[in-house]
Amino acid sequence: MPIAIIDGRELEFPAGERLNAIQAAERVGIQVPYYCWHPGLTVAGSCRMCLVEAGTRNAATGEISMMPKLVPGCNTPVRDGVVIVTQSEKVQQARAMVEEDLLLRHPIDCPICDKAGECLLQDYHFKYGQDERRADIRPFTSRRRDVGDVTLFVDRCILCSRCVRFCREISGTSELTVVHRGAHEEIDVAPGFPLHNNLSGNVVDLCPVGALGDKDFLYRQRVWYLKRHQGICTGCATGCSIWVEENQDRIHRLKPRENPQVNQWWICNEGRYSYPHVHNDRRLAQPRRRDTQAVVDLDWTTLPAELLQRLREAGRLAAVLSPYLSVEEAYLLATLVRGVDPEARLILGPVPVIGEDERFPNGFTVSAEKCPNRRGVEEIIARFQSGRITTFDAFPSQLKGGRIGGVWFSGGYKKENWIEDEKVRSLTALKLLVVQDLFPSAVSALATYELPGAAFAERDGSYVNRNDHLQSVRWAVRPPYGVRPEGTLYWEMLGRPGLYNARAVLNELAAEIPYFHVAGGPVPDVGVNLKVNLLAEQPEEIGVRS
């Protein structure tokens, strides 16, 4: 194996692996500061914050010869025998000079800057900058310019060009560019061509200082009040890994979480700004029973037993399993209705599809299928129904003839009008209709029992994306008072002891259903691919569908 020497420490790395000095240093626990480099973008080498000393060791004699000048670590490939020095006095001086230069023109408006608290310029100044400012230029404010989807604070920009490269290489839209020359260089857009694409929010994450502001988040929270939780975007079937950032159970922003197997470093705007429904005042927050005329508010303490009783009395049952349910919840609901009626029909809930997949030049795809877990729910249904999956379109015909007496309808849709009138009409003759959803809808208006459901950030569970990649997360915010997450209710109704334990359910699933087998072991933060495992271990189990 090739060996490089970083600050006197030997780093072995696989032959053929492409590493630069920043990445190699990180492997041995040394941080090299940088602004313009990003692992997902081409190398610009413009900020010079990553300067290091570099040289080579002669394999035969062991003699080390260093280059006379400092080199940018981001653009220095590490090969066998390369020697990198990141902590010498020469390097420290260079970093301090870069910091001083950047701060010459950078306004000191940190008290009103959104980036304060997570700003690399701030952090590096304290770590690598010099104590005193030698220049007497003291800019305090920044010009602000609307460039489309985001706000540009022109004078805060350090010209790292990450946002420009992102628009060229990842979104492929090239709206942002550098205009003027020398000390007058600025980021801007061409007149009449604002920054407007479905990935534009990522430029705010990429900006190492506060030059690009997210219009949605601007001046809403100081970042040090935010707590971040691992989450999964439920906006489409891509299932991007995200951070859910909240303060006191209120989500303030969603950010991409690096996952090389799903979304790399990016998320789309659709997913990024999809959280407001979680805090919408119109959400259902009170379980209710609709008797002949009156609507009665119910208490969660006695409700599970009452629901069980009504299910037993309803005759033939059916359950609509929403593609917004986690696999654990879908499994528990299927177990519950099949426990009451072993012949109960399991139906896949409506799968919202809007337009076509949106593909970007680097391969990032926003799915047309706007739900997070169709694949997972399908596998659960297939297991209970010997491979047969009933889609929601076939549901009204199943209800004809009045053989089905009771239906449990799980929703979780982010909009109120997610079901067509014609399908609603088919539900009117039922003896029992239990609807669990986020918002009032045409179906909940008919429900015998209207139960409030939890939003994506309020529940534990796992989702399987369009590529059979399973990811598990825990809740990030508590649901509104009066809401009980689906998994908790099913767990209680099944008479399981203690609190709802999604991990225990996933283990059960892994033991019972070959598709989920690999999820029985530890699931890493980036998730696991179920199909790869299944193809390798259980080829005969695939393809049972009708």
Judged by the rule CB under 6 A, the positions of this chain that interact with ligand FES are 34-37, 45-50, 72-74
Q: Shortest Cβ distance from residue 159 to ligand FES (Å)?
A: 10
Q: Shortest Cβ distance from residue 37 to ligand FES (Å)?
A: 4
The whole-angstrom separation of Cα 29 and Cα 45 is 22
Q: Shortest Cβ distance from residue 51 to ligand FES (Å)?
A: 8
Geometric angle at alpha carbon 334, from 296 and 374, rounded to 5°: 105
Structure tokens at 262: 């799903």
Closest by CA to 321, choosing from 307, 338, 305, 306, is 338
Q: Shortest Cβ distance from residue 22 to ligand FES (Å)?
A: 7
Are 494 and 304 in contact, with CB atoms under 8 Å apart? no
Element counts in the chain: helices (H) and strands (E): 14, 26
Structure tokens at 72: 């940018």
C-beta of 39 vs 521, nearer to ligand FES: 39
Structure tokens at 220: 């809403």
Q: Shortest Cβ distance from residue 44 to ligand FES (Å)?
A: 7
C-beta of 46 vs 174, nearer to ligand FES: 46
The whole-angstrom separation of Cα 490 and Cα 215 is 40
Alpha carbon separation from 347 to 23, 320, 327, 378, 384 (Å, rounded): 49, 5, 14, 9, 11
Q: Shortest Cβ distance from residue 49 to ligand FES (Å)?
A: 5
Closest by CA to 371, choosing from 349, 389, 347, 355, is 349
C-beta of 46 vs 467, nearer to ligand FES: 46
C-beta of 46 vs 247, nearer to ligand FES: 46
C-beta of 51 vs 389, nearer to ligand FES: 51
C-beta of 44 vs 493, nearer to ligand FES: 44
C-beta of 73 vs 487, nearer to ligand FES: 73
Q: Shortest Cβ distance from residue 117 to ligand FES (Å)?
A: 22
Q: Shortest Cβ distance from residue 98 to ligand FES (Å)?
A: 9
Are 206 and 38 in contact, with CB atoms under 8 Å apart? yes
**Burial tier of 7 (Cβ tally within 10 Å: 0-12, 13-18, 19+):** middle
C-beta of 73 vs 514, nearer to ligand FES: 73
The whole-angstrom separation of Cα 492 and Cα 503 is 16
